[in-house]
A and B are shown apart, each in its own frame.
Chain A
Amino acid sequence: MSATPMQVLARPFAIEPVTNIMLPDGIFDNALYNLRIACQYTNLSSAELTNVSLYLESVGDPGIASVARTFHFSSIPAGAAVQVMWDADFKNATPGKRLVSFLAKADGFESNRTIQQIFVSQTRFNSTTNTYTCTVEEGTLTVSNISAIVQKPGWGRDRDGKCECLPTTGPWVPTGMTLAWASNPAFAGVHGDLPFSDPWWKILAIIVAILAAIVAIVAAVLGAGTVSFGASGTFEETDPSVTCCTPDVGAGPKKEFTVAGVASAIATVAAAVALSDAADPFWRGQEKTPPTAGELTIGEKVVAKWSLPDPPNPGKPYTAVVNRVYVHVTSAV
């Protein structure tokens, strides 16, 4: 018998189960203890497969505890893909690249194993300095001065002219942040290692922004023991006409918090846009400030501020007016 022609073709990804928010680029952050390991399983054959079972076999970190579960499909058409996901506890996960294996078995075929890679980051919040640090093997990204607005006057009004969203619960739309990258170790030359040797540094900033938006929501719904930190008072007001706010974890689960948190997480896409959709601001800064021979890059900082004249609606183009400053710190300074 030949192997079942089902494979996971793209990197598995994380889904936060309370909000159903997906973290980008296959990054799983252990600030959220409960995450789902999700993947798209594709029938690569030209024929329908019957009586298909799919399960997660193993994760390459004993600190990640997945719950065994087998998904059964009576049939999967030729070329079709199904999405499956498994609950896992990332509380004791170690930052780094980890392998994950999945098995597929269909009638008339032997089981077939797919091995893919996921990325694990570790974000923590310092309430004293109001900063987030996101640690990966290649270095640490510190995110501070996250500014956000709840809603710009004129956005989000219903037919009666009232605000659709409660001004005390968000959603928050980020309008700026300061990013400081400390490479591990200091590096010579123009460019250092990308996080996980793959995504741009700004993706870590997006992870932080998403966590800032939903961590308190998850804690409010599931209890404080389900995340590594709360997120009170983390945003700075940038528009005196609106009220910036964060949910109170002690207030208990409220539907509007979840809705606002999800909307806030979606709005963090604005940060991705503002930090450039093409080359990353760190990458651009490195190209503009090449170190001389013998210099090592010790740290880099990007201060980004942006305004959004138009509502940032997912799926629709919108304008962002962006100002970025890159600071390159080398051993020669």
Chain B
Amino acid sequence: MSVQLLIRDGVPRWYLSPDIWVVPGSDPSGSPDSPIAGQAAYLWARVANTGSSNANGVRVDFYWANPALQVTRSNATFVGSANADVPAGGTQDVLCLVPWIPMIVNNGHECLVAVANHPGNPLPSPLPDAFDPPTYPQVAQKNLTVLVASRRSTMLTITVSGLQRADKLVTITTELGGELDASTLASLGMRGLHPAKKSDVEVGLDYEPRCVGDKDPIGDGKIELRVPRGTSAAVHATVRARNLTHDEYQLVQIVEWSENKILGGLGVVVVSDRKEKQS
């Protein structure tokens, strides 16, 4: 007899969970879509119970964080909680009715975390600062944002958070390519789009914000960063799309590494501004 709660990690990276989604607008039962800066949205999670005992009274906590790679409890903001009964071998969609308002300064790009709590499947006590979804199946993270890009470069500022008790030396890398599952695309309001056939997107990193012209070098694909404990630092990612068609997307990933372990990451779904012009 056991309770084993699961909020699925994402593919190709764990921080792209398909089991967390956003419904923007005033109707919590509306269609999933990308959050809109400054406007209320509702958070959902899908919780599974792979154990042999029913789990009643599961408390699901929802958090958001500024666009960051490794999301920790100390750099995340609690949104609210919801209760769920999850039968053995079953799943339950869970709605948090506390409205979440994505910050305008981040242009709606935020990271989301959902944590399922139940006495039959407890998290360690005291809780570690890092949410660490790969270690805990009942924790999942969705760091996935949509970027409407054009030939003109677009810059994203991303937080790299230090740990509370130790300095951190990390490597930040960029990756291009990969495919999102249909449900994740649908939750972003991008049903029917398919991955770009060839890499038409460039992405580069820098320590400082800068204006990148159409023909300027895009930046480095890999940088190292030291973050003293209790502080945070920023990296600046520049994205430039050249020939994406309106029905294509390009998945860009910015990944934080410590030696060979992934501490966190941010997925960016780059779509063409041609789609916007057509709608």
Chain A residues at the B interface, C-beta cutoff of 8 Å: 53, 55-62, 66, 68-70, 98-101, 103, 105, 111, 113, 115
Pairs A–B under 8 Å by Cβ, sample size 23: A53-B85, A57-B94, A58-B80, A58-B82, A58-B83, A59-B98, A60-B80, A60-B98, A60-B99, A61-B98, A62-B80, A68-B59, A69-B57, A70-B56, A98-B97, A99-B97, A100-B97, A101-B95, A101-B97, A103-B85, A105-B85, A111-B92, A115-B97
Q: List residues of chain B with CB within 8 A of the CB of A103.
A: 84-85
Asked, given contacts A58-B96, A60-B97, A111-B92, whether A68 binds B83 with beta carbons under 8 Å apart, the answer is: yes
B81 at the interface (CB under 8 A from A): yes
Instruction: Report the interface size for chain B: residues with CB under 8 A from the other chain.
Output: 20
Q: Are B83 and A55 neighbours in the complex by a CB distance under 8 Å?
A: yes
B29 at the interface (CB under 8 A from A): yes
Q: Could you tell me the distance between the alpha carbons of A99 and B56 in the complex, rounded to whole angstroms? A: 22
CB-nearest residue of chain A to B57 = A68
Q: Could you tell me the distance between the alpha carbons of A70 and B29 in the complex, rounded to whole angstroms? A: 22
B28 at the interface (CB under 8 A from A): yes
Q: List residues of chain B with CB within 8 A of the CB of A60.
A: 80, 97-99
Q: List residues of chain A with CB within 8 A of the CB of B97.
A: 57-60, 98-101, 115
Q: Could you tell me the distance between the alpha carbons of A98 and B96 in the complex, rounded to whole angstroms? A: 12
B207 at the interface (CB under 8 A from A): no
Asked, given contacts A55-B85, A68-B57, A103-B85, whether A62 binds B95 with beta carbons under 8 Å apart, the answer is: no
Q: List residues of chain A with CB within 8 A of the CB of B136.
A: none
Contact mask for chain B residues 20-44; partner A; CB cutoff 8 A; 1 contact, 0 none? 0000000011000000000000000
Asked, given contacts A68-B59, A70-B56, A113-B29, whether A57 binds B99 with beta carbons under 8 Å apart, the answer is: no
Q: Could you tell me the distance between the alpha carbons of A115 and B29 in the complex, rounded to whole angstroms? A: 9
Q: Are A57 and B83 neighbours in the complex by a CB distance under 8 Å?
A: yes
B78 at the interface (CB under 8 A from A): yes
Asked, given contacts A69-B57, A70-B57, whether A58 binds B98 with beta carbons under 8 Å apart, the answer is: yes
Q: Could you tell me the distance between the alpha carbons of A55 and B92 in the complex, rounded to whole angstroms? A: 13
